[in-house]
Amino acid sequence: MSETEADEGRAETAGGPPGPGPARRPRIAAAIAAAVLFAAVAAVLALTTPWNPLPGRVPGGHAKADPSLDFTSAEIARSRAFDSAVNPPAYTGLAVGLVLILILGLTPLGSRFIGWVTTRPHRRWLRIIVATVALTTLLRLAGLPFDIWSESVLRRYGLSTQSWPAWLVDQLKSLGVTWVIYTIALLLLYALIRRFPRYWWTGAAAGGFVLVVLVSFIYPVAVEPVFNKFHSLERGPLRSELMAMAQRDGVPVEDVLVADASRRTTSLNAYVSGFGSTRRIVLYDTLLKSPRPRIESIVAHELGHAKRDDVLWGTLVGALGIAGALCLLYLLMTSPRLLRRAGVDPGGADPGGADPDGAGTAGRGGGAADPRSIALLLALVTAGTTLAAPVQNVVSRRIEARADAHALNLTRDPATFVSMQHELSVRNISDLNPDAMEYLLWLTHPSGPDRIAMARDWARMHHVQAPPPLH
């Protein structure tokens, strides 16, 4: 018998995680469920992601994504300088946050920290709340210097218009939203772990799926207003044309909203939010100063998302992935070796002590059910989301490119599309020549030159005058 199997056998005797023999069936079932769910996600992504968003032969071959064709040397230099200034805090902040949570989760430091902050609360649910708030606050404070550094860069380049007190209020709002979401999720999860120590992964997978879908419905109407004020785009030629364009496109849109983004930033943006009865197109108020054809071009892109139900599709695929991840989490959170590494006794009582209902075994109060394991859980979640990000970014870029193609098909105006992408890139100081690491970690959209090259390909494919180089 291997050391791991022996550990699991001893843990099972003590009432802990499942050991060998029949008691290992839940782990085997969870492993199979995780494999099936991840295979389903991979199949859905492989079959439904628009890997070629502009299908067909391009006469004369594909256009080259060359920033020098459409951007001045000064614009290219400014983009490079901004990229060099904003990358250090972004990369350093990511590394520090990741290292910190891994140290807290994969060593006894995290469990000791939770034990320290939860010495007074005796009720389990209150200890979970305190531990969650304390850990998420600690992680936010660790990242705060790098957030301040990044904000300073945005101010230096004229992208941020916020005062420091207003910026700090936004940080506190963001932390508050994190507290609410994490606390609700962890209270539900730890209730399942404690009530069904061997099969909690089944309820967690189903509950995780439902929670992701529920948050997608709630977020546009409950969370977005916390950070921005919205109002319907006033009646007039622009609103009439945008609503008429949506009607021509066969896309039911409840409203076109304007967000007061100018109190934070000078950048341009628009997005589609929600689905069903909550679907709306949101324009930054900074965008309203652009020429109307350019606004129509960017809204046509957003209609492409709505027509394809990209928000709903992303929600369901993400929910499926979360369900698989929770099955995998069960396997990791019931590993005696991993629990010991995290400073949690896999077979002992919850040292928090006085549970009102007297649960004291690892299956009911200790092991994975011990609130001190929250640090380990957050470390595993962070590692998983970090590893998944590159895949999400690749898929997102293809979906965004398909929405670009939709905008071109709807407006049949590649010249305006090119001028809009140029304006977006210059105003937002977008990276005009991202390196491989930036594509891997950050880029959810194609670069400006990539999008402009697609517009020229579309023009040649549809026998429309290809937009000439802007510079």
- Please tell me the predicted confidence (pLDDT) of residue 19: 45
pLDDT, tens digit, 9 for 90 and up, residues 406-429: 999 999 999 999 999 999 999 999
DSSP letter assigned to residue 288: G
* Cα gap 216→233, rounded to integer Å: 23
Q: Are 264 and 161 in contact (CB under 8 A)?
A: yes
Low-confidence winner among 8-22, 40-54, 108-122, 245-259 (lowest mean pLDDT): 8-22
Please give the domain boundaries of the chain with CATH numbers for all domains: 24-227+308-461 (no CATH), 232-299 (3.30.2010.10)
Using DSSP bridges, classify how beta strands 280-284 and 256-259 pair: parallel, antiparallel or unpaired. parallel
Nearest to 388, CA basis, from 376, 399, 396, 400: 396
* Cα–Cα distances in angstroms (integers) from residue 232 to residues 131, 236, 256, 280, in the given order: 41, 12, 6, 10
pTM of the entire structure? 0.89
Q: Which residues pair with 231 in a beta bridge?
A: 258
Question: Quick one: average pLDDT of 437-455?
Answer: 96
257 φ, ψ (degrees, to nearest 5):
-105, 155
Residue 266 binned pLDDT confidence (cut-offs 50, 70, 90): very high
Place 254 in a pLDDT band, splitting at 50, 70 and 90: confident
Residue 71: name the closest of 423, 445, 443, 457 by CA.
423
| Residue 404 annotated to the active site | yes
Which pLDDT band holds residue 350 (cuts at 50, 70, 90)?
low
Q: For residues 253 and 243, is the Cβ–Cβ distance under 8 A?
A: yes
> Is residue 301 a known part of a binding site?
yes
Contact 26, 202 (CB under 8 A): no
* 381 contact partners, CB below 8 Å, separation of at least 6: 325, 329
pLDDT band at 6 (very low <50, low <70, confident <90, very high): very low
pLDDT band of residue 217 (cuts 50, 70, 90) is: confident
pLDDT band at 273 (very low <50, low <70, confident <90, very high): confident
Sheet holding 280-284: strands in order across? 230-232, 256-259, 280-284, 270-273
Average pLDDT, whole number, for the chain? 90
Tell me the C-alpha distance between 388 and 209, whole Å. Answer: 17
Q: Is 400 annotated as a binding residue?
A: yes
Catalytic, out of 302, 310, 350, 431: 302
DSSP secondary structure code for residue 121 in this structure: -
Burial of 177 (0-12, 13-18, 19+ CB in 10 A): middle
435 noted as active-site residue:
no
CB 114 within 8 A of CB 126: no
Q: Which residue in 404, 413, 450, 457 is the catalytic one?
A: 404
Tell me: is residue 62 an annotated ligand-binding position. no
